[in-house]
Amino acid sequence: MEGPIEFFEGIATGTKYFVGSIIGGAAGAISKVTQSTSKGLATLTLDQDFQNARIQRKEIQAQTTPELISSGQNALQVIRFHF
């Protein structure tokens, strides 16, 4: 460390990553709970057509998700570059 400015920059960077990790972890946990609840409710309907349609929708979504993620990552890189 060269001085107090670098010290506070380090604290700010560490805090940013810490808060980001907490938010990401919480979002991941909520996502898993929601997925499990959705699957359980679909099973409780006892409607095989609905369950098959749900599986097909999830497969289509799984194919488009990587494209959305890469688009979001590109947008974040542009935002970081400007700030």
Q: Residue 64: what pLDDT?
A: 66
Q: In the structure, what pLDDT confidence band is assigned to residue 67 with cuts at 50, 70 and 90? A: low
Whether the per-residue pLDDT at 1 is higher than 60: the answer is no
Residue 77's pLDDT band (cuts 50, 70, 90): low
Q: Give me the pLDDT at residue 35, please.
A: 85
Q: Give the C-alpha separation, 6 to 11, whole Å.
A: 9
pTM for this structure?
0.53
d(CA 24, CA 18): 10
- The pLDDT tens digits for 10-66 are 899 999 889 888 888 898 899 889 988 888 888 888 888 888 888 888 887 766 666
Amino acid at 18: F
- φ/ψ region of 46 (left if φ > 0, alpha if ψ in -120 to 50, else beta) reads left
